[in-house]
Structure 1
């Protein structure tokens, strides 16, 4: 912003505007940038839905949503100070604490990952994670949540880490191309990529992490995934802004809980349907239960995440993690 030849950073804007004969003053809204780890993915649907419903504006917020295909890259943007928040997997909060970086989930959007392990129909020999040995498995990115979850499922099936190869293929068209070209024989991804491959019969569901029941069976407990996480220092110094953000997201979670998949889909950008709105709606109907109804961290969820990361994150393994500092319920409890 330029004023009288001086430049001010976005994070520092606080302008007093004098209006009317009485000299009434008001503060201009500070822009808050939030990076989303692929906002076309249904697991991160609450971000765009909150924007579409006008809930950010209702709270007097100026929120900019930015897109980044991999959650691990969105995390880096946060640490670099380029954004104030990330819509991404909660497990980044645990992983980062092991590196001495304190970030926390301020509102929990998902109680389960919403991810699906797909297997290419070219490889009918893969009937369970026990058959992953010697296979190339697609993940969003190395060091990503999908990478940790994939390795954990292989381990539960009796395999060692070096029995499988994880390949970073992103999501959407890049994931689909990797499977079509047999660069990966199975892989973990989300909607709408899942439905696109099922529709063409190029893949089948091997492990479904879209419901509480199937997630408990696969991982041994609920696994909180999508959340709005922010650096703890920023949260402590911007409690008013954080509360308004949480107010907006809690309203969105209630909207999702009380509206049909079709009604929710109608609020989303048309390009999110990837040319198949009916498929988008059907996929959302199947997976709508992955979202929390109120933004509250599910009981026992952080412990499940720590169990997975303690085994497969070289950063977390052997470290003492204070889970109470990886999330807060303060703002959700105070949400209107």
Structure 2
């Protein structure tokens, strides 16, 4: 018997098919990747125990995600820049991190928007090592010094460079060391690996209480922030890829509603009442100190989740002063945030 011959495809048919496949591949490549729509929303927090990101865990503790019918998983990365990378890779649907990432990412062609603002100010504190207090009286004294940040490209790094630039000091005149947050930051300070560094509560209060550090620049309050940066500086926020928000409006509105309820809870309850809602392991074996840090942090939070007026302009000014990604670039601030979901969340169901 003769072996049967394979079916031959006409050449005239091959080119159109290949063109169609190639075109489809290009189209798929242009679509942002998202974690699979399993019904679960995964949120990466840039350091879940930091009080600047308090609304993330507090919302879970208060049961507001469940009240909205949401299945939310909270994960943690010590630096906001790492959380941002998880979002862009499509591994998570949202990030609780600093709003300034939305501006930085737009300069790189990435469309990300903040849909709920948690903090009207950075909540960051530049601390000086106790052993360097006599030589570092202000940011004007940091030439030749080593300054700690949570990570290279993180918001703490942006702000550190800006505060130095205000005193005419370039990034080449001091060293930046990524030391993470919480215990790793404390260790770097106690081991004298950094002369000063930027951190948040409750880490700041822990180091101040033990006498290992003192406040150099305080951006936990609106006044301190205006003095340091020249205006309100919207910081901690919930941000997502715009394409995800456009295709998941219901979920985005429910997330905004849950967080707005939490911000209202923060505004109407005492530091002690809020502390009681938090996991005990957040106290770091010192509930009284955590309560003090909580009290220090409450003024930073937004009352309603909306972007503060002129806030984006202040953030852009800070980034454009030194960040090569942003400097000289046209940034459409209207595409870096939206109040639409918060506004919808404030409408009674």
What is the TM-score when the length of structure 1 is the normalising length?
Answer: 0.91
Deviation (angstroms), 1:171 = 0.8
Which structure shows the higher helix fraction? 2
Residue 97, structure 1, aligned to residue 97, structure 2: no
3-state DSSP class of the match of 2:258?
helix
Which residues of structure 1 form unaligned runs of 5+? 1-8, 14-29
- Counterpart for residue 37 of structure 1: 46
Give the counterpart of 1:56 among 62, 65, 78: 65
Kindly tell me: are residues 253 and 180 of structure 1, through their superposed partners in 2, closer, same or farther at Cα, counting changes over 3 Å?
A: same
- Counterpart for residue 75 of structure 1: 84
Q: How does 1:1-336 map to 2 (within 5 A)?
A: 11-13=36-38, 30-124=39-133, 125-336=135-346
Contact 2:35–2:91 under 8 Å retained in 1: no
3-state DSSP class of the match of 1:207?
strand
3-state DSSP class of the match of 2:96?
strand
Worse-superposed segment, 190-199 or 103-112: 190-199
CA distance in 1, matches of 2:84, 2:63: 26
3-state DSSP class of the match of 2:95?
strand
Deviation (angstroms), 1:10 = 6.8
3-state DSSP class of the match of 1:11?
coil
- CA-atom RMSD in angstroms: 1.0
3-state DSSP class of the match of 1:312?
coil
Kindly tell me: are residues 89 and 10 of structure 1, through their superposed partners in 2, closer, same or farther at Cα, counting changes over 3 Å?
A: closer
What is the TM-score when the length of structure 2 is the normalising length?
Answer: 0.88
CA distance in 2, matches of 1:48, 1:12: 23
3-state DSSP class of the match of 2:119?
coil
Aligned residues, how many? Answer: 312
Q: Deviations over 1:219-261 (max 9, x none)?
A: 1111111000000000000000000000000000000011001
CA distance in 2, matches of 1:261, 1:313: 37
Kindly tell me: are residues 50 and 159 of structure 1, through their superposed partners in 2, closer, same or farther at Cα, counting changes over 3 Å?
A: same
CA distance in 1, matches of 2:183, 2:343: 39
3-state DSSP class of the match of 1:12?
coil
Contact 2:35–2:93 under 8 Å retained in 1: no
Contact 2:35–2:90 under 8 Å retained in 1: no
CA distance in 2, matches of 1:84, 1:250: 19
3-state DSSP class of the match of 2:144?
coil
CA distance in 1, matches of 2:208, 2:47: 21
CA distance in 2, matches of 1:82, 1:264: 31
Deviation (angstroms), 1:312 = 2.1
CA distance in 1, matches of 2:230, 2:37: 45
Q: Deviations over 1:248-297 (max 9, x none)?
A: 00000000011001111111111111111111111111221100011011
3-state DSSP class of the match of 1:35?
strand
CA distance in 1, matches of 2:296, 2:75: 27
3-state DSSP class of the match of 1:236?
helix
Contact 1:10–1:31 under 8 Å retained in 2: no
